[in-house]
Structure 1
């Protein structure tokens, strides 16, 4: 039974007992009681219960509390996004700032730190092999307002874009390239694909770097792929060693070629000059030969014999006296040509006197004979 139905003698919400309905409490009485608490006299209507001073004090306290609550600090690495009744009004710089509480809202965003989002998974390559790849995307916020309000969650959007770009790039490359030499190309292609996907969303961030971690084949075939990678590394090492050997040998070969070319050029010039000298010499001999052919011919013969016999050992034999052999070591005599002559002994004078009679002949062509030769002649 409701409290206000006839016959209900229970308590009503206003505190009436025994069914004595007095109605709701008087508002004037309520305001009068409040005015007593704040120092009012409590006489007269409720609007006259508050004094002007009390009202001013209360409003001043509220205003001071409201003003102090508006101070806040933006860190050096952050930028604040200011909203007024939910509308973007600008960007807040670092330092001590003030905002109107309940009117303005400021959301600080770190714009200097480099953040990272990992991505990994088992993916199918273009040659229908499964490979496990891992990627780490590093980015920085460049527009705080777009980063906060262009998407529900910018980090989640970037993570999904990274996963989509990675699967697209891996699906268009072969497993050997992913595991060995093609990692850098895959890294660059993934970077470009992420930027292409994020461009229409305008998330207010920029990609700083993309780290493509070493991919791994399935565990079942890991040993075989390790051998393949080792063989390719050996191939690259041999190529580098061959290139180093080529860089070492090539300068030597070029120097050898240059030296041989210079020697050939010098030999050519020498032969040409010698030929020209011989021609000039014969041209000068021609008039003399025309005037005295016999004398010139004999002179040429003697010059040629002198040139031929210069470096040979010579034995001179007296053809008139049979059985008498005269040996003249002309090579030694020529070597001792510059030596001082010694005085002749009596034996030497006797030998020379006997040579006049035709028994023996000693003709010192260049200076006197040496002491050994004189001794040998004395024994003879």
Structure 2
């Protein structure tokens, strides 16, 4: 603001016929050196002694004498361009100098600069932060140097390397189990049917240098290898086996074995922990028909189970009858006559017990007696008597 304050007084001084404070008359270029006054001392102007004129307040040591010639070591008057560019007549001003405001670091006690000390301190801090590495339990780290050349590995603990960017240290958790979920895919079974199957793969790192440098994208490789192994394993099973779950354990074990063999062949540094099949469904367009087929199969299985139970009962009864016959035959061989009579009596008893007639073979007895009718009448009379007794009691 002081610059603009000085500039705005120049037009006013010129119009008033006064002397220019920068060293030249505002109106009349003649005179005998009276313009070289000291800016407030009239005597100096009259004598024309040739003393230096008023100094430019913006340029230390600036200003010209009465003769208009610059004295040795003097400065020319500053232009507007010099003022706004922070330049002096002799060139750019030093930061923090008298030519304008600027930031200037304090000097050291011996007169030197603090810049080298600050640079050394920053270098020490940078080295300390990028050279010391703390590897947690369950983690490992690989060290590369000069743009990616592998030079070694770090185990759990405190480790030291060259500072970045000379050495680059990358840490990975090699103990944690990672899971890759594979969405639903249509896979062809061994009996030329399609099954909609989704599954997940559990794996971890068993060799960190191979995992980081052998394959371009290890995670994508795991997905591709899992799909290949799954399609090969499902192609060995029928649709019923896959959907019913009877062969699911076999499929999971086969996929894990195939995946591990392929990844070891690639040198991937990956250990497959297990395969989990989440869903096994028929394709969406044939779900209804497939449900009907499953219902018919369940009905058939239920009927087969009933037939198996009936055959087992018949077989058990036949075996029991055969055992009983063997026992009777053994007794018959010991006493044939007695055994024959006993068998006859038992057979007749079984046959006659289901008839309503009683036959008695004895002298003086009527050959046929309606014993069943007599029995029935006796029961009816007993019932009437009991009802009469109950009525009289009441």
Give the TM-score normalised by the residue count of structure 2. 0.46
* Structure in which a larger fraction of residues adopt helix: 1
Query: Bigger relative contact order, structure 1 or 2, given CA contacts below 8 A and separation 6+?
Result: 1
